Structure 1
Amino acid sequence: MSVVEVEKVIIVEGKSDKKKIENVINEQIEIICTNGTISISKLDELIDENFSKDVYVLVDSDESGEKLRKQFKREFPEASHLYIDRMYREVASAPDQHVASVLLSANIDVQARFL
């Protein structure tokens, strides 16, 4: 049995965000939860492990999400940032169709039923 090397990584804040994305995507993507915050040492480790991959940051449209996003922009500028509409505030509470369209805009394969 061969191990498939995942080329894309999505960084989210919490487990509910991860579940939302897993429900929508249609390809092998590693989803990493920061649990709202991330230490500099953990961030450095994450950068080292994923430097050669396509990394996307999808966090909530609230104060803690924006703080985390700023930290990634500063420490890992190669990462692409995806945004949910501010009216939904949280990734987990955004409709599946909206999350799918955000992911599709980044060339991430999503399940056709959400389009």
Structure 2
Amino acid sequence: MSMKIRLARGGSKKRPFYSVVATDSRMPRDGRFLEKLGTYNPLLAKDSEDRIKLNLERVQYWLGQGAQPTDRVARFLEAAGVMAKTVRNNPKSAVPGKRMAEMAAKKAARAAAPAEE
């Protein structure tokens, strides 16, 4: 069985609240899970203690059983000191798409044209 430690969304529309759960990867996001490991409230301030609550003992247990955390949960665990930090690199994130590149080229051409006259 492929185990995941991931977020299950709760809360109402535009007011998200997440539970950190251990679940089978084939189950739906908000579906059946094996154990609730903590909570995450993104609406609270980043320095608030109540923003992320984790039962680290149980998280360690599930990691020992082979559960793989999702990207967001892995960041929580890195901040808590449970996992080693991994280097992330996405060089394409700052590169504009085709349309924006064309618009930037046109803008640069227009800006250069009056300077030549």
TM-score, scaled relative to structure 2: 0.28
Structure with greater Cα Rg? 2
* Bigger fraction of residues in strand: 2
